[in-house]
Copies of this chain bind each other. A is one copy, B any other.
Amino acid sequence: MVIVQKFGGTSVGDLDRIQNVANRVAKTKEEGHDVVVVVSAMSGETNKLVGYAEHFSQNPSKPEMDMLLSSGERVTASLLSIALQEMGYKACAMTGRKAGILTDNLHTKARIEEIDPEVMNSSLKEGKIVVVAGFQGVNENGDVTTLGRGGSDLSAVAIAGALKADLCEIYTDVSGIFTTDPRIEPKAKKLEKISYDEMLELASLGAKVLQNRSVELAKKLNVNLVTRTSFSDEEGTLITKEENIMEKPLVSGIALDKNQARISLIGVSDRPGIASDIFTKLAKAEVNVDMIIQNRAHGGTTNIDFTVPKGDLNDAKEVVGDFLKEGDLENDVYNENICKVSVVGVGMKSHAGVAAKAFQTMANENININMISTSEIKISMVIDEKYAELAVRGLHDAYELDK
């Protein structure tokens, strides 16, 4: 098999841990696989370099930041390759450039446009373990670019796609994806397999093990993704195509998002296009609107409720304030003490009654549901924040996820 293994900053946090990573990579090689390793900077390094830059400027130029920040991954990749060579393996360290990673020109948050796998492939053919500096590529001018937060995961997934690898293993300090946050529900179980779409919906689960960008890319490139821990041999969770999952569970997990605020626009004037105006202006202000509910109210006006991440609340207030001044609405009410609980599962598509059970569970616990939104594989409910844990445990129990 061709296996891509990605190790994050904590996994390569010091020299001993880099040696541990070398041992693990060597073991995979000994099992007869072709191995490409993608590494992040040693933990703390990137933040240190960002701190250096901020010493000089609050808004340092992005091409310079890319040249600065890309150095951390080069260090780790060189050291890991040296460690593997010392153990008697053929290995070779590659920068993003050498690995053939071409990106667009958006310095500090570039997107991978293309990977030319030729150099990696010919090194693999020579029996070498290929060690790639993650998080980086080059643009068409040949200048180094970086991929932004979670960039090394993206490097690994994109490389796995380009090499048509059988597996892309993402090693972190978390052992996989759980049915819900084990800190809330100790009975939470680790999932063996999960589909890309479920993973995307469950993004808030599992301590942000994977960013959505990486899962989306894996889905697009059809890469079998595994998240597992680098600190033990425990098996992780496979994230794959729905077709690869034989037994489709009704519900795979319960996600909780406490980082939401609710905005209620009361008495919105009933002229055509007003909702469009409001949400267009919010989008321009880069406010991420999640759920939206509109009710016709009395007297020819409507009420519109929507949720935004707490961090976007101030920007949203400004936009809404303008409409208030123009007399387009009567009143605005904000509530930060809410949370969103979601029930996720591909089995929902073909089973009725899943939503009913969720609502019944809330009713049994006397939890009032503020807003509801559903998709093919998800039911989301906005409730008072104080009921967050109670709701998660109730739902975990109701769908028998501990079984």
Contacts and interface: CB of A to CB of B under 8 A. Distances in A.
A278 interface: no
B82 A56 contact: yes
Given A56-B86, A98-B143, A68 B79 contact: yes
Nearest to A70: B74
Interface of A: 15, 18-19, 22, 49, 52-53, 55-57, 60-61, 63-65, 67-68, 70-72, 74-75, 77-79, 81-83, 85-86, 92-93, 95, 97-98, 142-144
B63 A82 contact: no
B61 A82 contact: yes
A95 B138 CA distance: 13
A363 B49 CA distance: 61
Nearest to A19: B56
Contacts of A68: 74-75, 78-79, 82
Nearest to A59: B86
Nearest to A143: B98
Contacts of A143: 98
B78 A15 contact: no
Contact of A65 (B49, B77, B78): B78
A98 B56 contact: no
Given A52-B15, A75-B52, A143-B98, A93 B81 contact: no
Given A57-B86, A64-B92, A71-B71, 11 more contacts: A53-B78, A53-B82, A56-B82, A57-B85, A61-B85, A63-B93, A64-B78, A65-B78, A67-B77, A68-B79, A71-B75
**Smallest CB-CB A-B distances: 6 pairs:** A68-B78, A71-B71, A57-B86, A56-B83, A60-B82, A67-B78
A110 B61 CA distance: 31
Interface of A is mostly: helix
A143 B97 CA distance: 10
A88 to B, nearest CB: 11
A89 to B, nearest CB: 12
B49 A75 contact: yes
Contacts of A49: 75
Given A71-B71, A93-B64, A57 B77 contact: no
Contact of A93 (B56, B67, B78, B93): B67
A57 B87 CA distance: 9
Contact of A82 (B64, B81, B86, B92): B64
A85 B60 CA distance: 8
Contacts of A75: 49, 52, 68, 71
B67 A95 contact: yes
A63 B143 CA distance: 21
Contacts of A18: 56
A92 B71 contact: no
Contacts of A78: 53, 64-65, 67-68
12 contacts: A19-B56, A52-B75, A53-B78, A56-B83, A57-B83, A60-B82, A64-B81, A65-B82, A67-B77, A67-B78, A68-B78, A68-B79
A305 to B, nearest CB: 45
Contacts of A142: 97-98
